Structure 1
């Protein structure tokens, strides 16, 4: 997959290609990222230089302008005034020293990364000789994926200390073209909303300084042609395998060329003593000419096969969560009653959410004291877990280990353990403070208390939550050390308890990124479980995440986040399209909807493999949402048809299905109608209509009113 010649290097796996070379002055020049080239022989797009008024001639060479050259490791100081990938006081050169090919990939230490089995990596060493700084660029390519990874390692090879201000693993210069930016924005309970706009001349940036990757600006981007659609057009996707502070920069210069960078924010001031190295988080690049849908499929396959923790069986049990059932008012009797109801209705696991630990009556107290409340769980968590499992259920438990309440034994004993302890009054979020994981004793304590509970009780599932941003931390080094410590904690717990499923949560999707997915089996996508809001959230998330990474449950109506009333069927149908699914309903609601809950639990159980392994397609977005989920074998297809708003005398709707096997026939469940694959893909599948009299008997009617949904199932015959 890696070809080396006198012309440079080509990484090419038949799906995607990346090419670079060493320029005449030792600067690494970028040549190509995109479709497969096969070879650099006969390559037509070598860098060109011309006289540009006011450009700086590099080292006195006429027409040699770093400010207009496509580079691999751009630095500031010799005439390139665009955003640098590597910045350190005094750095004004990075020249080629050596290169080598290795099987697999680079050891990133505590940082998460894609698994390297079967991959090949090209490592290129550059140095600033007068400064004594070494920068190694690592480029990794996998067979069978249109994805390439970039990582940079900066090492101080001098005898004096240095400061590192910026190290962006992803920095790529693209030729002149009219492009759009696609990225995700949001906030609590409205995460993952897709934004698309034209790249204008100048610099556009987004990121997070909140201590998390954030729901506001998660570290994902796509650059597209202006006419790219869901099915057609070029897309270059970028993602950072990291969960803390980050920055993405898109800069279009006066000549129309675009520079894309992803990494930690600038101004790090990271100290490098002689011999010390800094490894930047891994960045991933994806290329497709099959539109946003092709990008999604590329990311989905890569995440499932290379990022998500490996398990022999990725099965996710259907569960009942106690949060919107009882909030903080949980005790032994209530939990056991819910467990019996859950088992009777076909659930496979009970999850005890917030409120179970010592003194926890509301969100003002007790975080940090991770022992079962003796007043409400007098027999301890081990005995409660035994009673739940005796009902034939798995048992799950909620934690928020990174946080502490002022009203807690832990804070009273260790007030100096919090971030901001040296300040007069550090900021609070959700009435809680953040433990400083950069301190070894805090890291050890968090690992110890969670491990102790996992040893005490038979726990199959951990919901790991984080319900505030990290404030009062203006030290970039501590912010990064915090994330490295978190990664170490979870990695050790996973190794010690390999049978436990770990779910990532941060007030929903406030830390939903590829870094967390390397260590967690799934992510609680959003605290919003209203089906209409979830349509947009899950649609946005699906551009980068497979359904197997998403978690959801059917919550109450009216919805507790926005007050919207919705049918049980709408909540069931939208939640269907997540890998982990369940319920969060009170005992009274479970009884009132008993038949629907039992039927839904059976549906979710029987389709687990389909959802975690199937191919997901967005067929339509807007006022009507239509999704398609196809099993890996192609034998089963599930279609969601959702209409957000009711309208009188609506038009008939139909949609063309995708990727069915030609020559096959599919039968609609319920009606028994038989269609050929070619007809479904060319003429389309008719969608349900709200006028019951107009519906043919073979198609069920769409419910009347707002937020109406239908789940259609086809099987190949």
Structure 2
């Protein structure tokens, strides 16, 4: 059993593969947190709760016991207002205007399997025997509020998921002000706080700082998980590194506004919480209604960040991503965007596709500009019909031209946006997010459609589906190129306007669910100004994401390294583009651009018809090599070897599950005069196996490569160099 309830002591002990999570119902029904960490066989209160009079900490039982205070009690789902002064997990305003609530244990059930969340993405169990679920009902009898806490344990993974559902069981409406998905109270603060900040073109860099007294947090208020922060945080024990030490990672399966924070209190306790951002949030709960919080995924590792990452990768690749392409090798594509931007016709597209086919590329993707009257970024979003000025014979003619070359065809959409200069806006000016009597702020000359409205969602489902059904399209790039402003809806009453941002996400998830279900043969790749919505919520519907608009190979080393902390390699779109790079104007060789891009889902984003014969041979070799190794790249175990955040170089390795095949990538950034000879250690191989390096006579033991290391070739001269080793175990 993964979940044990010890009735005599009212203890819940959740046991995953190598982690335990322990809670206890104490004094009059308070649900207290006792332990989360490395797996133990049995919990016997070695770290028992201790109670002393803390002077200015309030006491729920003042005349009976001054030693008991919620201000010092580690809790599972705390409220505010009755002696706990820390940030709460939830907060409601009752019909009398007050916000004091007091949840106590009512009941629980334990069952095999994992429930789906209505209207929200979540990780899943294919077999009910791979997971076990605990549902704990807490209630406030005075406020007539219940909270259902759901914990699912994956028995063979170091994974526990959590969520909460808040239910109004009374006869009056209440306002939900705060509804986080997870709260964990640690009884010390000996941690570092790690997160993934960034910006457009510089997504998911790594920052790590020691915890300090007070609150440290990351959040999004942009209506999307954002380029600026990712809905992931981790607490690391001091000294934890890539391979050793304890890591507690938390990731929210949600694509909108979020808050992740750690609060260190006066007694050096740490409260970690994660969920929908309470900023500008309110949800009206009428009698009998409930609010479902998004799911939080909790991963524990005592094998450092690498152990945490591989747990997330395996879980998300096989139990978050769904559909035909979950376990299918992803095609090598050519995208015309940086080759043509808006200036193209069918003949030009056919020319690029033909050049791609000659190099072995399998999929052509037509990017922005094929619809409405879209000659620049000032018009036509929302007008999802073919521009006959550019494609006079229609989209089907172009698709057939490409498919007659034995290539697949893909198409770019931005269904969540609308241009003021569009037929759709002229017909439905109230369909965008807006606030009465306020300017409708534009970004990139566009507004955001109001996906909190069913009629808007229905129309987008129809328009996108009509295009996808019109001809044999097998790939869609789903873009979203601006964040929300003037967040209001024309159809919601005044007391529900602050529900708009979350209702938008629920509408978006419905649209994505219906379209992806209707076209299971289509590979969907999400995009949001590049990597501005790279989160597990979107991966549930679309198994890969455009990692960043910045395609510079050197920039991508940090972006892809940081992204790999949480997200599997099979989810990362990674392309070779032209030089000078269109984002940072850097010149790099085609070799290093290819090696960086082959460390994800390989694609190209340049005018292949303009390549020299020598360049074409390089690309042809890259494509051929990637076809040989892509199963290993996309579905193997990933090991980070050298961090570009700490060094003038980077390295990583992909190793298959049987540990009989590996590929190692090394990148040097800037050249240094008379530099020392370099080597680095290759982790993850079988120490009992011997490995031959392809195209050489070199044979090394897995133990030698891990403990002694692998020498970097001395012929790597100049800036921006890379080298690849392919290793195969001897039979």
Per the TM superposition, whether the score is higher than 0.5 is yes
What is the rounded CA distance, in whole Å, between the counterparts of 2:177 and 2:359 in structure 1? Answer: 57
Residues 457/421 of structure 1: CA separation in 2 closer, same or farther (3 Å cut) = farther
| Among 10, 20, 23, the residue aligned to 2:23 | 20
Residues 4 and 14, structure 2, Cα contact 8 Å, conserved in 1: yes
Does structure 1 residue 471 correspond to structure 2 residue 485? yes
Q: 2:303 aligns with which of 290, 295, 311?
A: 290
| Counterpart in the other structure of 2:124 | 115
Q: Which residue of the partner structure matches residue 110 of structure 2? A: 101
Q: Tell me which residue corresponds to 1:3.
A: 4
| Alpha carbons 1:105, 1:119 under 8 Å: kept | yes
* Paired position in structure 1 for 2:332: 318
Q: How much has 1:285 moved relative to structure 2?
A: 0.8
In the alignment, structure 1 residue 682 sits paired with structure 2 residue 707: yes
Pairing partner for 1:194 from 206, 214, 218 = 206
Instruction: Name the residue aligned to 1:556.
Output: 578
Residue-by-residue CA offset, 1:22-65 (whole Å, 9 max, x unaligned): 1112111011111112223x231222111112111122232001
Aligned to 1:278: 291
1:665 paired residue number: 690
8 Å contact from structure 2 (residues 333, 363) kept in 1? yes
Q: Is the 8 A contact 1:314 1:612 kept in 2?
A: no
Rounded Cα–Cα distance in structure 2 between residues aligned with 1:660 and 1:620: 16
Q: Deviations over 1:405-458 (max 9, x none)?
A: 111111111111011163432111111011001111100011111100010011
- Cα distance in 1 for residues equivalent to 2:247 and 2:253: 19
SS of the residue 1:581 aligns to: strand
Kept in 2: contact 1:548–1:580 (CA 8 A): no
Structure 1 runs (4+) deviating above 4 angstroms are: none
Mapped partners of 1:598, 1:115: distance in 2:
39
Give SS of 2:61's match: helix
Alignment partners' CA distance in 1, 2:525 and 2:694: 33
Which consecutive residues of structure 2, in runs of 5 or more, have no partner in the other structure? 94-98, 489-496
CA distance in 1, matches of 2:422, 2:605: 31
Question: Which residue of structure 2 lines up, in the alignment, with residue 581 of structure 1?
Answer: 603
Please state if 1:567 is matched with 2:568. no
Per-residue CA shift, 1:249-277, capped at 9, x if unaligned? 21001111100000011252210000000
Match of 2:718 in 1: 705
On the 8 A contact 1:590/1:597 being kept in 2, the answer is no
Between the aligned partners of 1:248 and 1:681, the Cα distance in structure 2 is 36
Deviates further, 265-274 or 285-294: 265-274
State the 1:592 CA deviation.
Answer: 6.1
Residues 400-549 of structure 1: matches in 2 within 5 Å?
400-420=414-434, 422-473=436-487, 475-549=497-571
| 1:84 corresponds to 2:88 | yes
1:605 maps to: 627
Q: Is the 8 A contact 1:326 1:586 kept in 2?
A: no
Tell me how far apart the structure 1 counterparts of residues 70 and 597 of structure 2 sit (CA, whole Å): 51
Which structure 2 residues correspond to residues 147-226 of structure 1 after superposition, within 5 A? 147-226=159-238
Rounded to whole Å, the distance in 1 between the matches of 2:142 and 2:729 is 68
Q: 1:249 to 1:422 in 2, by over 3 A?
A: same
Deviation, structure 1 residue 111: 0.5
Map of 1:629 onto structure 2: 654
Task: Summarize deviations over 1:180-221 as a string: whole Å, max 9, x none.
Answer: 000000010000100000100101121001000011011001
Counterpart CA distance in 2 for 1:493 and 1:457 is 15
What is the rounded CA distance, in whole Å, between the counterparts of 1:674 and 1:300 in structure 2?
Answer: 30
Deviations 1:213-250 (A, max 9, x none): 01101100110012111111110000000000011121
Q: CA deviation at 1:382?
A: 1.7
- 1:129/1:57 CA distance change after superposition, 3 Å: same
- Matched position secondary structure for 1:165: strand
2:194 and 2:612 mapped to 1: Cα distance?
A: 41
- Counterparts of 2:666 and 2:116, CA distance in 1: 45
Distance in 1, matches of 2:498 and 2:61, equals 35
Aligned to 1:227: 239
What TM-score does the superposition give when structure 1 sets the normalisation length? 0.96
Say whether residues 1:348 and 2:362 are aligned partners: yes
DSSP-derived class of the 2:724 partner: strand
Local SS of the residue matching 1:285: strand
Q: How many aligned residue pairs are there? A: 704
